[in-house]
Amino acid sequence: MGSTVRRPLSTAFLLLTMCQLCLAEQAQQPPAMSVQKIRDNIYMVKGGSGANAGVFISDKEVVVIDAKMTAESARQMIEEIKKLTTAPITRVILTHSDRDHVNGLAGFPRGLTIIAQTQCQKEMEEAFKDPALAHLREYLPTHDYEVSSMRTAWVGLEIDPEQYRLFHFGPAHTSGDTVVWFPMAEVAFIGDLAFVGRDPLVHRQKGGTSLGYAATLKKIIELGAETYVSGHSDPLTTADLEGLLSAIKEKQAKVKALIAEGKSFEDIKTAFGIADQAGGTGGRRFPSLVEVIYLDLTEKK
């Protein structure tokens, strides 16, 4: 009788465990890839492994903005692009050097033109020194640029500025962020220069600054785009970016006031409810925006 009672309980336990394992496996699977038309011949590619990417299709070529995080997802994205056009992919523009935007380059054909801001190129060169990323060294940018311009011919390429332009407004999310601006369509791809539902992430280890982030966000708003495409959200509007900028400035003002009152770093973290708990990649916690603001305001340059 005892064994008859225990057997159903054991079976139920095993079923529950199997369901939990299945759910955990599903949670690790990247979301399905989809292509969303933004306007005219400009598209956003969502899903797969890595950040949102962009696609610009002209009569003769395809320009891709950012490359996903894995070669597999990049190849899947290329297959989706083939459903839209028979034109070849000739160029990839990188908004910055984070792995979820660049590591998928290995899935692209060799010999493409790869464009990035100069500091982005340097950050990629440093990252690809890792033996595990050695296969990406042949995908380093082939053309780089230093500062923003209303023209894009200065990268050594024939680019019609009426089609798209590249802007670098200084260190922000990283030291080498690029905004890709399509003036006729009033669409801008801005990489990780805007987040929704969370504070912006600023990579100080890559030369990013919270003050520069706010200044860059102001410049992006001044472009007057109808649609802004970021790396980790649905398409955004000017009102969305203005709300984000306002929230950043509010935190900056509060941190500055607390510093003026003589509050310590720990006092300020406590005031904002920031705990020193593990998180992020490999158990590391990325510094919060408040912490970055404090360091930007107090560290000697």
CB 275 within 8 A of CB 288: no
The tens place of each residue's pLDDT in the chain, 301 residues long, gives 444 444 444 444 444 544 454 444 445 688 899 999 999 999 999 999 999 999 999 988 999 999 999 999 999 999 999 999 999 999 999 999 999 999 999 999 999 999 999 999 999 999 999 999 999 999 999 999 887 654 444 555 666 667 899 999 999 999 999 999 999 999 999 999 999 888 999 999 999 999 999 999 999 999 999 999 999 999 999 999 999 999 999 999 999 999 999 999 999 999 999 876 544 444 556 899 999 999 999 985 4
Residue 64 lies in a domain: yes
Residue 271 lies in a domain: yes
CB 193 within 8 A of CB 101: no
pTM of the entire structure? 0.86
The count of domains in the chain is 1
Residue 22 lies in a domain: no
- CA dist 110 and 105 (Å) reads 9
Residue 8 lies in a domain: no
Domain that holds residue 62: 31-298
CB 216 within 8 A of CB 177: yes
Residue 170 lies in a domain: yes
CATH number at 124 reads 3.60.15.10
- CA dist 170 and 214 (Å) reads 11
- Give bridge partners of residue 65 from the DSSP assignment: 54, 93
Q: Which of 170, 53, 156, 142 is nearest to 100 (CA)?
A: 53
CB 192 within 8 A of CB 230: yes
CB 53 within 8 A of CB 70: no
Residue 228 lies in a domain: yes
Residue 277 lies in a domain: yes
Give pLDDT, residue 251: 96
Give pLDDT, residue 277: 54
CA distances for 200 relative to 71, 101, 172, 279, angstroms: 27, 16, 10, 16
Residue 200 lies in a domain: yes
Could you give the maximum distance between any two Cα atoms of the chain, in Å? 84
